Amino acid sequence: MKIFRYRDEGNVYLGALVEQGQLYQLKESNVMELVAAARQNGKTTEGYVRAALQQATPIPQSIEELHLLTPVDAPEVWAAGVTYQRSREARNYEATDGKLDSTTFYDKVYDAPRPELFMKSTAARTVGHRDQVCLRTDSTWQVPEAELGLVLDENGAIIGYTVGNDMSCRDIEGENPLYLPQAKIWKRSCSIGPFIRLAETLEDPYALSIACRIYRDGEKVVDEQANTNQLKRKFTELVDYLKKDNELFAGTVLLTGTCLVPPNQFTLNSGDIIEIEIEGIGTLVNVAVYEQELG
Ligand code: DO4
Ligand code: MG
């Protein structure tokens, strides 16, 4: 069972996509309202939605025809870093120009009890499926980062999973780790969606294939695959650190780190189409452009 948001004639609706592919409009206006209604009725979110479907209005359009929005208006998007060996290797490469000869802070954080967690985005900077992500004008080494996203309630409970893109500037981060916020946060540097797969409907989130494909002028220029079974940490570890002495807001998304980094010589160009697919969750597609080219 997947939940999405869409716009139709100026109004925003919440929808459910069931296994057979049918789409239904739900009466709640956002996923956290849905979760609250389910809890009030003593049901799982899935159980609540299944019961509601009997009276729900089927959506006549196909999913491709709908104007999909971010599946949750996440007040904050946080991200974990160096949670996969692949990310550790890529960070070491960019920080040392490939001349690694000693232990770096990336090696240390990979093994430390405390994970790397950083603020990635706010609702206003986060875009959804088929929307445009932006490139920075002061970077020449930019990549998407394909990540599994956890959708959290205000207590840190995982209510569902989504697909995320943690757009990153490898040159800015590589120059100095203190530049991390600039390497990670700018206008439209984060995208999530198109769906939230309800947590209770996904048997094993630690065994999902993840793919990142990038198309340029109609040709596939990046095609990388990995699996969440390579994740070094458990989600509870990440969420527990995120919650420590912190206030979480309902609908926060926590990206769990990337296991896919394009080859070192690759940088995104304006017009590149980025496709991130996570098994059982969905495929998030975005076009990269510079701010002045936004359409
Ligand atoms: O260490 C910097 C960021 C790491 C990151 O974004 C990732 O591993 O996905
Ligand atoms: Mg990342």
| CB contact at 8 A, 151 and 161 | yes
Dihedral sign computed on CA atoms, order 121, 123, 124, 125: positive
In this prediction, residue 20 carries a pLDDT of 87
Nearest CA to ligand 1 atom 6: 81
Same domain, yes or no: 63 and 84 = no
Nearest CA to ligand 1 atom 1: 81
In this prediction, residue 100 carries a pLDDT of 75
Mutational test site, ligand 1, from 168, 232, 260, 261, max ligand atoms within 8 Å of CB: 168
The ipTM value here is 0.99
For the stretch 85-102, pLDDT in tens is 999 999 999 888 777 777
Nearest CA to ligand 1 atom 3: 81
Final residue in a domain of this structure, among 25, 44, 68? 68
In this prediction, residue 19 carries a pLDDT of 85
Axis-axis angle for helices 31-40, 45-53 (nearest 10): 90
Nearest CA to ligand 1 atom 4: 81
- Residue type at 199? A
For the stretch 237-279, pLDDT in tens is 999 999 999 999 999 999 999 999 999 999 999 999 999 999 9
Nearest CA to ligand 1 atom 5: 81
- CA 206–ligand 1 middle distance (angstroms): 19
For residue 173, which atom of ligand 1 is closest to its CA? 2
Q: How far out from the chain centre does Cα 182 lie?
A: 19
Same domain, yes or no: 54 and 173 = no
In this prediction, residue 102 carries a pLDDT of 77
Same domain, yes or no: 59 and 95 = no
Same domain, yes or no: 55 and 96 = no
For 42, the domain range is 2-68
Same domain, yes or no: 146 and 179 = yes
Distance CA 28, CA 32 (A): 9
Q: How many domains is the chain partitioned into structurally? A: 2
| CB contact at 8 A, 188 and 292 | no
In this prediction, residue 106 carries a pLDDT of 92
Tell me which residues have their CB closer than 6 angstroms to ligand 1.
79, 81-82, 87, 91, 116, 145, 166, 257-258
- CA 256–ligand 1 middle distance (angstroms): 9
User: How crowded is the C-beta side of 253, counted as CA atoms within 13 Å?
Assistant: 32
Residues 6+ away with beta carbon under 8 Å from 65: none
Same domain, yes or no: 17 and 146 = no
Distance CA 141, CA 124 (A): 24
Q: What is the pLDDT along the chain (295 residues), one digit of tens a residue?
A: 999 999 999 999 999 999 889 999 999 999 999 999 999 999 999 999 999 999 999 999 999 999 999 999 999 999 999 999 999 999 999 888 777 777 889 999 999 999 999 999 999 999 999 999 999 999 999 999 999 999 999 999 999 999 999 999 999 999 999 999 999 999 999 999 999 999 999 999 999 999 999 999 999 999 999 999 999 999 999 999 999 999 999 999 999 999 999 999 999 999 999 999 999 999 999 999 999 999 8
Same domain, yes or no: 188 and 285 = yes
Same domain, yes or no: 241 and 124 = yes
- CA 127–ligand 1 middle distance (angstroms): 20
Dihedral sign computed on CA atoms, order 264, 163, 240, 183: positive
Same domain, yes or no: 188 and 220 = yes
List the CATH number of the domain containing 118. 3.90.850.10
Nearest CA to ligand 1 atom 2: 81
- CA 54–ligand 2 middle distance (angstroms): 40
The neighbour count for residue 99, using CB atoms within 10 Å, is: 7
Mutational test site, ligand 1, from 82, 96, 255, 259, max ligand atoms within 8 Å of CB: 82
Q: What angle do CA 236, 209, 254 make, to 5 degrees?
A: 35
- CA 146–ligand 2 middle distance (angstroms): 7
Neighbours of ion ligand 2 (CB under 5 A): 145, 166, 258
- CA 259–ligand 1 middle distance (angstroms): 10
In this prediction, residue 206 carries a pLDDT of 98
In this prediction, residue 112 carries a pLDDT of 97
In this prediction, residue 96 carries a pLDDT of 87
Same domain, yes or no: 6 and 115 = no
